[in-house]
């Protein structure tokens, strides 16, 4: 067992990082109607997982972020207080909101427009998972892959098949 010196442990809290440090930066970039909002976005790191907080403005009327615990929500409000686009900060339990409050009873399409999101995100042309992430060709849903499937995106076929319960005992 490796012991970590106590000086290497960081105190638990909320840290703001550059927007591109967020794990979900590319998803937001593809989903926003106005990707220019990303210039004022920040990555919010909690438990060492930075997620993007996108400000209101330029077609995006408001936003929110779930912080898992009220104490972290309060810390995020303090951290975002002077950031552009994060006006009218509110806390409701563990959820931090900014911009206009989300109106009640919005349809999914109206909710998407409120948050400044595209109807369908602009994703890349590859819809198949990389090798080892899915195990089957998504078009055919069967093994072996359908003819014409890109060769670099299929997992290696199994070398041998052993029936359950037939494996030799160690």
DSSP string, 109-154: HHHHHHTTB-SS----S--SPPTTSSSS-TTT-SSSPPTT--GGGS
The answer to whether 98 and 76 have CB atoms below 8 angstroms apart is no
Confidence (pLDDT) at 6? 47
Q: How confident is the model at residue 140 (pLDDT cuts 50, 70, 90)?
A: very low
For residues 137 and 149, is the Cβ–Cβ distance under 8 A?
yes
pLDDT tens figures, 65-112:
999 899 999 999 999 999 999 999 999 999 999 999 999 999 999 999
Q: Ranked by mean pLDDT, which of 27-31, 131-135, 141-145 comes out on top?
A: 27-31
Return the pLDDT at 49.
87
pLDDT in tens, 10-48: 556 789 999 999 999 999 999 999 999 999 999 999 888
């Amino acid at each position: 067992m490796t012991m970590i010196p106590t000086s290497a442990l960081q105190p638990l809290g909320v840290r703001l990082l550059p927007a591109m440090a967020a794990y979900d930066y590319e998803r937001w970039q593809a989903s926003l109607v106005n990707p220019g909002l990303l210039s004022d976005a920040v990555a919010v790191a909690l438990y060492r997982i930075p997620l993007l907080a996108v400000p209101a403005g330029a077609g995006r009327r408001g936003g929110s972020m779930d912080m898992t615990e009220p104490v972290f929500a309060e810390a995020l409000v303090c951290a975002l207080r002077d950031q552009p686009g994060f006006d009218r900060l509110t806390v409701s339990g563990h959820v931090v909101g900014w911009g206009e409050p989300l109106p009640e009873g919005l349809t999914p399409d109206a909710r998407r427009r409120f948050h400044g999101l595209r109807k369908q995100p602009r994703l890349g042309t590859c819809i198949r998972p990389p090798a080892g992430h899915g195990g089957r060709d998504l078009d055919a849903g069967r093994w072996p892959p359908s003819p014409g499937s890109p060769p670099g995106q299929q997992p290696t076929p199994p070398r041998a098949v052993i029936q359950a319960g037939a494996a030799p005992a160690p």
